[in-house]
Structure formats: structure tokens, C-alpha cells
Amino acid sequence: MSGYDGLWGYLVLVLVGFLPCDIWRMLGVVVGRGIDEESELLVWVRAVATAVLAGVIAKIVFFPPGALTMIPLPVRLTAIACGFVAFLLARRSVFVGLAIGETVLLTAGFVLAR
Amino acid sequence: MPSSLSAFFAGLRASFLSVFVLVLVGTYIGIGALAHDYGFGLDWIMASTVLVWAGPSQVIMISALGAGAGLLETAIAVGLSCVRFLPMVVALLPLIRGPQTRTRDLLIPAHFTAASMWVESFRLLPAVPIERRVAYCNGLGIGFMLSGQIGCVIGYFLTASLPPLLTAALLFLTPMSFLVSTARNARSLADRLALVFGLIVCPILVYADIGLDLMWTGIIAGSLAYGIHRLRGARR
């Protein structure tokens, strides 16, 4: 057992999961209330949001969590690059990009593990 | 879409047709298995999917708590990984909000905001009548959350522990899907540059051991992209 069972577990979940996460979403509602859809400020906010998502991507690829560490960095980079090129070639199909990226990762991981 | 209810179901239907169903089921299989390995209950991990609703942040939370990290330390790590939702919600709201929308009606769509719902909203919402978008988003969010929960249950009950290579592949779903779906949605110069700059700036900040790396990535890379967009606009 994790030690986070029953009511205590739910309390911990609210304190360390729900609140730290949703405070940003609710702050977004407050901050975003007055912003016009056509405003330049929104172009900047969108760019910031996109850059943060890019940061999440880069962070997982360069500093992976858990089992992904067993795949060497060059393989992770090759797989994500192959997926991206496949996505472009397949007329921006997210599915194709995902399928090719995963296939490259799994194949390379399988070969390396032998 | 004559009523809010039909808009809700249209959103629900759209979620099941989205490629993110695969991504979410896969990602949450990984999360369910991780939670099982650390000895958390299925009720707990499913509740966390409803309450936190952020794959990468849930991975951080489960690994930290499971490894015995302190509550404050875990809360800070989760909070930092969720800063991304602030600009995401701010950018999304004007698209959801009609002239008649009350602020409290926006709280649920805001809670549903995660990478999956965010990118799919930008793709799908323009075709939805403005007064139906809140209901549509709620349908989309519920559908995605349902996919996540299905993944949680599957991952939790996989009797044999997942082979490490498969776990690695499930963890890889997040960056791969975020990259191509963000690229698909990035039509303006500012968005495209922000994506490229973000990919470059973030690892540099992490290697340089600068704290709040995601927040600084957003501000630096996003502002740089915006600045170039402005310069191009001024020259025309």
C-alpha cells in the first residue's frame, strides 16, 4: 500500500494534485476575462502557451521520466524527428506521425535490448 | 445544433473520433500501471484523473508520492508543471465565450483544458455556433476524460507488469502527439516560431539549471516569436 488510502489519500490528492494544478486554470479564467478575441495580446499569449507546450515536449525527450530513460537520447531524438517528418509527408496527419514515431522507438528499443 | 444538449453530444462524439483517444488511452494505461506499481488504489488514481486531468503532471505526482517525497515538495512540482494551463486557458477562452456566456460557465471548460482538449478545440470550435461552444467543449472534455479512465483501468489491471519497452513507448506518446498536433494547429508565424523556439530554449534552461524552466521557456520563446511576428507586420 502506498500509505495514501481512504480519506487521507483523497485529502492529499486535493492538496498536492487538484489545487496546485487547477489554480492556474482558474487564474486563466480570471486573467482572460477581459481579453478580446482579435487583440494582439492574445497573439502573444497563444505564442507563450505554444512555447510552454514545446517546453513540455523537449523536457520529456531530453529528460525523460521512468522507463523512457532506457531508450538512449539519440534514439528518442531520431524517433520524434521521424514521426514529425512522416506527419509532414502525410499531409499533416497526426495519426501517421504518431504511428511512425512510435514504430521507430519500439523497433530501435527492441534491437538495442537484444 | 439546436440545443446545448445536442452540442454536448456532438462534442462527445468528436472526442471519440479524435486521434487523441488513442493517445489518452495509451498514456493512461501507463499512468494506471505506474499507480499500481506504487501501491495506489484504483479509486485514487481515477479520482486523480478527474481532479488533476494532466497526464505529465499526474506522472510527476504519482512518482513523487510513491517514492516517498514530501507533500509540499510534491505540490510544488505539480504546480510548476501546471503553469502551462494559465496561458492555455487565457488563449482558449475567447474562442469558447459568446456575448451571453457567464464566467461561471467557463469554469468547467477551463478545468477540462489539457493539451488534448486545447489543440482539438482550436481545430473543431470554429465550425460550432458560438452560443453552443461551452456545451460542445464540455462534451469534448468528458469524452477525453472517459478515454483516460478506460486507460487507467486497463493499466491498473494488466496482471503482468508491463514490459519496460512498452512502458517507454506509452510515455513517448505524450511528446510525439503534443509535437505533431501543436504543429498541425500552428498556422500563424508567431505560433510556428514559438514551437521551434520552445523546443530549443527549454533544454538549454534545464541544462543551465535555471529554475521554473517551463515558465521561462514560455515567456522567452513566446515573446521572441511574438516579436518577430510584430517586426514582420511592421515592415509590410
| Facing residue for A25 by CB, picked from B59, B111, B179 | B111
Q: Give per-residue burial for A38-74: e unless 16+ CB within 10 Å, then b.
A: eeeebbbbbbbbbbbbbbbbbbbbbebbbbbeebeee
Q: How many helices (H) and strands (E) does chain A have?
A: 5, 0
Distance of CA B21 to the CA centre of its chain: 13
Q: What is the mean pLDDT of chain B?
A: 92
| Facing residue for B51 by CB, picked from A18, A23, A79 | A18
pLDDT at B98 (0 to 100): 85
Q: Grade residue B163 by pLDDT with cuts at 50, 70 and 90.
A: confident
pLDDT at A1 (0 to 100): 52
Evaluate whether B190 touches A46 at the Cβ level (below 8 Å): yes
Percent of residues, chain A, with pLDDT higher than 90:
77
Residue B210 has pLDDT above 90, yes or no: no
pLDDT at B40 (0 to 100): 93
pLDDT at B71 (0 to 100): 93
pTM of the complete model: 0.89
Q: What is the pLDDT of residues B87-129, one digit of tens each?
A: 999 999 999 998 888 989 999 999 999 999 999 999 999 999 9
Q: To probe the interface with B, which of A37, A43, A94, A96 has the most B CB atoms within 10 Å?
A: A94
Q: Grade residue B78 by pLDDT with cuts at 50, 70 and 90.
A: very high
Cell for B102? Answer: 457567464
Separation of alpha carbons B75 and B78, rounded Å = 5
What does the domain layout of chain B look like in residue ranges?
4-185, 188-236
Q: What is the pLDDT of residues A74-114, one digit of tens each?
A: 999 999 999 999 999 999 999 999 999 999 999 999 999 87
Asked if B173 has any chain A CB less than 8 Å from its own CB, the reply is yes
pLDDT at A2 (0 to 100): 64
What does the domain layout of chain A look like in residue ranges?
65-114
